[in-house]
Amino acid sequence: MVLIGVAIVIVGFIIRMNPLLVVTIAGLVTGLIAQQSLYEIIEQFGQAFTTNRYMAVFIATLPVIGLLERFGLREQAENVVSKIKAATTGRIITAYFIIREAAAAVGLTSIGGHAQMVRPLVAPMAEGAAEAKYGKLPDDVRDKIRAHSAAADNIGVFFGEDVFVAIGAILLMKGFFDQNNIPSDPLKMALWAIPTAIAALIVHCIRLYLLDRSLQKQLGAGKNVPLEQGKEE
């Protein structure tokens, strides 16, 4: 009977009730069936919120990004980039990659992210640059550009964060070495991460340069309908 809370969650999602309300009701019902007092249930809610308070900040960004997209953030990003003649898909993603990796190297891993930057800004700007040059893009090309945009975020933060001595990955390695009686210095580990980060930067910049070449070869200048003409039609 304690598992009835799972059934409540499933039914609530099927009938598309407010997710927060569904989860709250499921928690209350589960606690009451488990013969807990209302005070104990509310106390557990508060403890869970306190434990995951940092996640609350991330969750709060999602409605904000949704509202910005609803009022034309993606379209404005595409329009701005389409007016810059020197902008290409590869160059835009490369610029974001450099910023993402450099910020992660100094501990600012929260700058960027798929939900906060890639979906609403980076990917639309990269697509806008391609549309300005080649016209309307096929769906497979759009997916390819979006995949490269997401990859730039992942690779940039992955190789950049290890340069920062107080990041979780460095501390995890330090703890592992200490448990196995292996001498280690977090500062030296961070310093040795610099060549790897530079190598990742060079390799990924080459990949993004080849992305521009691939788009040029696949689409070709003038083969598609120009962006302005496509909008008029």
Q: pLDDT digit string (tens) for 165-223?
A: 877 777 778 888 888 888 888 888 888 889 999 999 999 999 999 999 999 998 875 55
* Whole-number average pLDDT of the chain: 80
pLDDT value of residue 231 = 43
- Cβ count within 10 A of residue 3: 9
Domain regions of the chain by residue span:
4-51, 72-232
- CB environment 159-186: b (16+ within 10 A), e (fewer): bbbbbbbebeebeeebeeeeeeeeeeee
Instruction: Identify how many contiguous H helices and E strands the chain contains and give both numbers.
Output: 11, 0
Q: Are 126 and 80 contacting, i.e. CB atoms less than 8 angstroms apart?
A: no
For the chain, give the number of residues.
233
Dist CA 225 CA 6 (whole Å): 52
Per-residue pLDDT reduced to its tens digit, 65-120:
666 666 666 677 667 777 777 889 999 999 999 999 999 998 888 888 887 888 88
Predicted pLDDT of residue 90 = 93
Best-predicted range by mean pLDDT (56-65, 153-162, 165-174): 153-162
Angle at which helix 19-33 crosses helix 4-14, to 10 degrees, equals 160
